[in-house]
Amino acid sequence: MADPLDDDEIERKLPEDWRFDGDEIIRTYEFDSYGSAVRFVNDVADLAEAEAHHPEITLRYDEVEVRFTTHEVGNVTEKDLRLADYTDGEY
């Protein structure tokens, strides 16, 4: 099982534009069109499948909210932080 991180460590390692709330890290991405938001969601879904780590994704007409947590730990782990970086790379 992945090691849990303490809250200070999560805050310290949080990528820019992400926030830590409860047991999740969250970022909202903005888009010019619904189509580009949908393409981003598909890219993130492919990434999630490749990494076997699946964020909660909310698609709105011009923005996408992505939330990572590690269910088996009940908090944020290094894997969530790494996937947050990878997700930024898809933007």
Ligand X SMILES: C[C@H](O)[C@H](O)[C@H]1CNC2=NC(N)=NC(=O)C2=N1
Is 16 a binding residue for ligand X by CB under 6 A? The answer is: no
Instruction: Say if CB 45 and CB 57 are below 8 A apart.
Output: yes
Interface region with ligand X, contact rule CB under 6 A, candidates 7-15, 17-25, 34-42, 68-76 = 68-76
Instruction: Say if CB 84 and CB 48 are below 8 A apart.
Output: no
Is 52 a binding residue for ligand X by CB under 6 A? The answer is: yes
| Closest by Cα among 65, 79, 72, 52 to 17 | 65
Instruction: Say if CB 28 and CB 55 are below 8 A apart.
Output: no
Options 6, 8, 21, 71; binder of ligand X; rule CB under 6 A? 71
72: tokens are 């088996």
Is 82 a binding residue for ligand X by CB under 6 A? The answer is: no
Is 74 a binding residue for ligand X by CB under 6 A? The answer is: no
Interface residues with ligand X (CB under 6 A)? Answer: 52-55, 68-72
